Structure 1
Amino acid sequence: MSLRHDSFYDTYHGHEVDHLKIVHHELRRSHRSVIFLAGDSSLDNKYWLEERSPAVNGYERILSPAQMKQDICFWLNKAAVDRGMHHLCCLNTAIEATALSSRACGKLLEQDHFIRDHITEDDYLVVSIGGNDIALMPVLCTILNLLALSWCTPVECLKRCACACPVNSHTDLGCLDCGLLSCLLATPCGWPPGVGYFVDLFGHKVQNYVCKLVGERKPKKVIVCMIYYLDQVGRDSWADCALRGMGYDCCPWRLQAAISTIFTLATQKIQIPGTEVVGFPLFNVLDGRTSEDYVQRVEPSAQGGRKMASALMEVILTDDHLGSASCGESGSESAPHMMAMGC
């Protein structure tokens, strides 16, 4: 069965689930393993792109005409072909303009349900989420903690003495409580002010989301990404107001230091029972200095997506990657940086 190229790519909030079912069914016929992308527009960047290439890795049998937008999914499929990994393909099940708060109160979106229902033990899951909880749809307590972290915290304090040990409440009320529960439980459990709140957001809440995606079947590997550094040079973006409010236009290194710190204290500590978890710093790939890597300062361009896909493929194909944490691994971290997390 074929799909019209334009109908497949013209949706804003991810791909339609009916289309995903068709593509997934056809890809499974010739591929043993699927890389599922989950999260937001940091992985679902198709809407922002016009560049196209001939379809590859099975998509040429599905799309009509046989072309793909040069989104991150395309570059991962091309990387699989270029490396001779003919058993491996990628399916974009991430959703533009969504956040962790979009999935509050135990909710999963349609594409999330699709992942949960179709992922297998031979597959891989790549997750990047949380950025829109800050830039696009922040709740009141997120804004307050962000102001404390981005304007009132010395960079050296973040680099040298940041710590956090919040408890995972497994409760996310999203906009219903404006983040108050997380603020009360997590903010006092971190230093400097604001760190505990964001360790809870990018650690516990991301982990709880992933656990819901893989509750039925555990994939071979889960790669949990920390957001890349945003374009520190360009302007005229929908996110300009938010970036200006965070001081990114004048002092980008402050937010960048916060991102790096939260990655160390939260993303790298995530553990999912029954599978290998790798915390991956996208900011090592897109460092904010090359505007051509971005669209609208915050979305990966075709060039940026190619760089991300190349780096992600290295992690996917590496058995013993720095930063991985398997179920039951105790780790060697010591207080105050230790924050063990499990589903």
Structure 2
Amino acid sequence: GSSCVGSRTAMWLRQFCACAMSEAAPPAIPSQEFYQTYIGHHPEHLERVLAALRSGPQGSDGPRPVVFLAGDSTLDNKHWLFEQRSKTDLESYLDDRLSAEAIGEYGKVLDPPRMVRDVAFWLTSAGDSARHSFVALNTAVEESIISGRSRDLLPQDAFIRDNITSNDILIISAGGNDVALKPTLGTQAALAKLIAGQRDEAMAYFRRLFKEEMESFASCLVAKSKPRLVIVCMLYFLDESSSQQGFADDTLRRLGYNEDPGVLQGIIRAVYEDAVRQVSVDGTQVVPFPLFEVLDGKDTRDYLHRVEPSVVGGEKMANALAQVISDHLGIADKKK
């Protein structure tokens, strides 16, 4: 009798609780934990954010593409935006100069629901209001280099490879650190040849770095699934004004950038024409994009430490990249 009813009720309650727990969303990621990492985002955080983005509402023409950012701090610029602010202090995330109300599914997975105004934020913002909507995820890694990357993928690179789909988009910007931050002996020799006026020999090296290494890296990222579009970027021009002090001052001085920025800018432009524009990846469309047409070195407000995109610079880059994406999605829509 009553004992059976009681036991059945208890069993039902246990089943209900187990079911409710299994369906409950995992606890939100503290925004401080998500953004405090210097080098990229933790892969486990990326997994949870990506799951949230995938579960969001569909766009007018089906599931919204996720734009995966790959490469270095030209896209993973979050660290530099804090400047003197603490990454672990909640007040930093309430400062509207640094952060903003989280967009869409980001608001459900971050606590507090605030996003740092990095490139991924601005790209998500642009995608949220675009006719063909999309979202962005920062899977790039500060301080990373392109040389040898395809032979030793970083955890964030492997995350892209394992999660990108045929509906998604990949943006790659890398190579600047190979020259400025972690130059190999080969890079140092090529730079010495450039400074000595042996341009042809130096350019042959940079073509290998920015075309062949870039192709190998991109091919590894899309080895499991070919995205609908790969945008391969060439570095922007660096801040011409030496009024801003930064960690790259010695490198810029050695490259003669303070005296004649046009020399390095000419090399960047030549590498884009001779290498980046020639990049191809089997099975997907590649669009080369010159970031130096967006950040041209003339406006100091676009930069931090002369070489990193500021909030303003990141917004300019994201808006330009969003236009490339929207153009592509619009063309694809017309073909349907």
TM-score bracket, normalised by the shorter chain, equals: 0.7 to 0.9
Q: Does 1:9 align with 2:41?
A: no
Point out the structure with max Rg over C-alpha: 2
SS at match of 1:280: strand
Name the CA distance, whole Å, in 1 between partners of 2:329 and 2:112.
40
1:195 and 1:320 map into 2 onto residues whose CA distance is 35
Q: How many residues align?
A: 282
Provide closer, same or farther for how the CA distance between residues 229 and 151 of structure 1 changes in structure 2, counting only shifts above 3 A: farther
Aligned to 1:112: 157
Q: Does 1:238 find its partner at 2:253? A: no
1:131 paired residue number: 176
Name which of 118, 137, 141 aligns with 1:95.
Answer: 141
Query: Aligned runs of 1:18-37 on 2, under 5 Å?
Result: 18-30=44-56, 32=63, 33-37=65-69
**CA deviation after TM superposition for structure 1 residue 319, in Å:** 2.8
Equivalent residue for 1:192?
200
Q: 1:209 — aligned with what?
A: 217
Match of 1:76 among 123, 129, 136: 123
Task: State the AA in 2 paired with 1:221.
Answer: L
2:259 is aligned, of 238, 250, 264, to 250
Of 246, 251, 269, the match for 1:260: 269
Cα distance, 1:6 vs. partner? 0.4
C-alpha distance in 2 between matches for 1:58 and 1:150? 49
5+ residue gaps, structure 1, are 154-190, 322-343
3-state SS of paired residue (1:318):
helix
Partner SS for 1:192: helix
Q: CA RMSD in A?
A: 1.5
Amino acid at match of 1:193: E
In structure 2, how many angstroms separate the alpha carbons of the residues matched to 1:193 and 1:232?
A: 27
TM-score by length of 2: 0.81
Query: In the alignment, which of 257, 278, 282 is matched to residue 269 of structure 1?
Result: 278
Q: Distance in 2 between matches of 1:20 and 1:320?
A: 25
Instruction: Give the residue type in structure 2 aligned to 1:123.
Output: D
Equivalent-residue separation in structure 2 for 1:34 and 1:146 (angstroms): 37
Name the amino acid aligned to 1:201: L
Cα separation, 1, equivalents of 2:122 and 2:285? 24
Cα 1:319/1:205, change in 2 over 3 Å: same
Q: What's the counterpart of residue 190 of structure 2? A: 145
Is 1:54 matched up with 2:101?
yes
Deviations 1:288-330 (A, max 9, x none): 1111000111100000000000000111121399xxxxxxxxx
Paired residue secondary structure (2:328)? coil
Indicate the structure with greater helix content.
2
Deviation string 1:31-71 (CA, Å, 9 cap, x unpaired) is 52100000000000000113111111321111111110000
Distance 2:76 2:208 in 1: 24
Q: Residue 303 of structure 1 aligns to which amino acid in structure 2?
A: V
Distance 1:198 1:76, change over 3 A: same
Structure 1 segments, 4+ long, off by >3 Å, are: none
Counterpart position of 2:77: 45
CA distance in 1, matches of 2:286, 2:312: 27
C-alpha contact (below 8 Å) 2:303/2:313 kept by paired residues: yes
Q: Is the 8 A contact 1:36 1:92 kept in 2?
A: yes
SS in 2 for 1:48: helix
Work out whether residues 3 and 19 of structure 1, in 8 Å CA contact, stay in contact via their aligned partners in 2: yes
Q: Is the 8 A contact 2:161 2:222 kept in 1?
A: yes
- Structure 2 gap segments, 5+ residues each: 1-25, 83-97, 331-336
Letter in 2 for 1:100: I
C-alpha distance in structure 1 between counterparts of 2:328 and 2:131, whole Å: 17
Give 2:179's aligned amino acid.
Answer: I
Amino acid at match of 1:19: H
Secondary structure at the residue paired with 1:38? strand
Distance 1:69 1:151 in 2: 43
- Whole-angstrom CA distance in 2 between matches of 1:319 and 1:68: 27
Partner of 1:224: 232
SS at match of 1:273: coil
TM-score scaled by structure 1?
0.80
